[in-house]
Structure 1
């Protein structure tokens, strides 16, 4: 995990005529100074321009080459680290503001699994229309003369097919109704997944939190890297969203949102002009005003709520420090509404 403190952008152009040339743009970063970030940006831009000019005369390098490095905010392509505003650092944990303005804790070794409540399958509906059509077909067939002709044969076959279709629909409806009566609520189902995982790995320590639309699990008994086999077991056992699992693997860290989402507080997120980081000086006042309004509103909400602890009660020191920061930032022990 790498989340630099300083960022800069450099753009270089090699002109071959008044209206023709080659332009590249690259990010640079540093943990030490803005000047070092600017130097790094120029170095990366020069390397990109040299690579572009070294391509064939058409200056058409391979498909992976990116002239203008606009993407990479979340470091998914491996070319740049996570590019977010750093709010605070404590040891190996970094608090950042994400693209829509909320606070996120980033940690390299404290495993976090966010899971959404399972979406219940849509039950089969009653086949009212097909049943009415079947009755109509039977009525028409019954009122026809007894003599068998082509129309009578077609009617009987159609009524039989429609009857079979209706029977299957009624069976599906009855089965779904029975299953729905026995099914656990989504929250209880998600908690059962966690309890089952804890029973399979009794030496693991798990802290469980409720989020607005799911549950969060923090592993406390040991430090784990994103590519550790235990993390794969954790994610599969809890049926974690594949996108979240992919982000953890690509970014080589775990992220937890610890303040409210703006739209859940009836606020808009950061505008497209102020959400990117770093930001031009002339746009900073607008961003700062939004941040001020957001922080006041977010103080009235919790990002998650502590539910229970399972398994091994012993926590490693770094996990304990992370949990303390996480719970305070989320207001996890409060009764505030979740957002």
Structure 2
């Protein structure tokens, strides 16, 4: 896991003609100093420029080559680390502030799995029935004014049949929706089933606004471990989260509320960017203080239960303690955001 303290950005351009040239931009990072991050950015930018100039034609470059490095803060491009403000570090676990202000714990050796509930399908609509009813009534009045005929009777019977079929479909869809398993119960059943198959595992379960969180507590694990991949598969963990864990070699857990769940607007693009520009640093600090004050009135999750092995491994205990403290997981009086 690597979450650097210092970041820098460098842009280089080589003029190949009066109106033609090659421009590249790259990020650099370091845990030592800002100067080291700037040197790393220049080194990466120069390497990218040399690669572009060495190609006979720009279209001959590797398909993954990008002139401008539009870095996502999570580093999902596989080439850069997580780019977030570091708030605190305890041992190998780091707390960062993500792009919308929330605090996140990042750990390389305590497995964390977030299980999101599936989005609920919208209830069946009756609008097609209403449309057909209007058409049928209009046709009936038209035929009534001209006298009834075999065509009118046949048309009305057809409209009635279509209405009946639509109603049966609507009723069946409503019944299926009523029988569908509660998503929370289905998620808990998956976790319980996994625990029954692995009774020596310790699984600590928390409830989040849109799902469940599981912290593996019986021993340290790495994201690339086969056991972790089996856990993610059995619990149907979000593929994007799985990819992040694998590429960054760490697990993440958000431990403060999302601003829109706390009646707050998100930060502006200039304020959310990290590292912050000097002209926006004061605004970022002001918004961060407002967010932290608001987040103190909410919890990020609520503790549910501990399955399997009750003893928490020595390596996992500090992470569990910090997670429960920061997320206010045991304060049931607070709303969850």
TM-score bin, normalised by smaller chain: 0.7 to 0.9
Which whole-Å CA distance do the structure 1 matches of 2:61 and 2:132 have between them?
63
Task: Quote how far apart the aligned CAs of 1:255 are.
Answer: 1.2
RMSD: 2.9
Which whole-Å CA distance do the structure 1 matches of 2:120 and 2:74 have between them?
32
Residue 331 (1) aligns with residue 314 (2): no
Q: Secondary structure at the match of 1:273?
A: helix
Which whole-Å CA distance do the structure 1 matches of 2:100 and 2:120 have between them?
29
Q: Secondary structure at the match of 1:318?
A: coil
CA deviations over 1:12-37 (Å, ceiling 9, x no partner): 22234565432222111112222221
- So what's the TM-score if we normalise by structure 2? 0.86
Question: 1:111–1:26: structure 2 CA closer, same or farther, 3 Å change rule?
Answer: same
The range that moved more, 296-305 or 61-70, is 61-70
Q: Secondary structure at the match of 1:291?
A: helix
Q: Who is 1:220 aligned against?
A: 217
Task: Quote how far apart the aligned CAs of 1:4 are.
Answer: 1.0
The range that moved more, 92-101 or 106-115, is 106-115
Q: Secondary structure at the match of 2:273?
A: coil
Residue 211 (1) aligns with residue 203 (2): no
Q: Secondary structure at the match of 2:228?
A: helix
- So what's the TM-score if we normalise by structure 1? 0.85
| Equivalent residues, number | 331
Q: Who is 1:96 aligned against?
A: 96
Q: Who is 1:75 aligned against?
A: 75
Task: Quote how far apart the aligned CAs of 1:285 are.
Answer: 1.1
Residue 193 (1) aligns with residue 190 (2): yes
Map residues 1-339 of structure 1 onto 2, 5 A cutoff: 1-16=1-16, 19-56=19-56, 61-125=61-125, 128-129=129-130, 132=133, 151=151, 155=154, 159=157, 163=161, 165-166=162-163, 168-334=165-331, 335-339=333-337
CA deviations over 1:266-293 (Å, ceiling 9, x no partner): 2222211121211222221111111111
Question: 1:181–1:8: structure 2 CA closer, same or farther, 3 Å change rule?
Answer: closer
Which whole-Å CA distance do the structure 2 matches of 1:168 and 1:210 have between them?
42
Task: Quote how far apart the aligned CAs of 1:134 are.
Answer: 10
Is contact 2:136–2:159 with CA below 8 Å preserved after alignment?
A: no
Which whole-Å CA distance do the structure 1 matches of 2:176 and 2:24 have between them?
59
Q: Which ranges in structure 1 are unaligned for 5 or more consecutive residues?
A: none
Runs (4 or more) in structure 1 with deviation over 6 Å come to: 133-141
Which whole-Å CA distance do the structure 2 matches of 1:186 and 1:49 have between them?
51
Which whole-Å CA distance do the structure 2 matches of 1:198 and 1:213 have between them?
22
Question: 1:45–1:138: structure 2 CA closer, same or farther, 3 Å change rule?
Answer: same
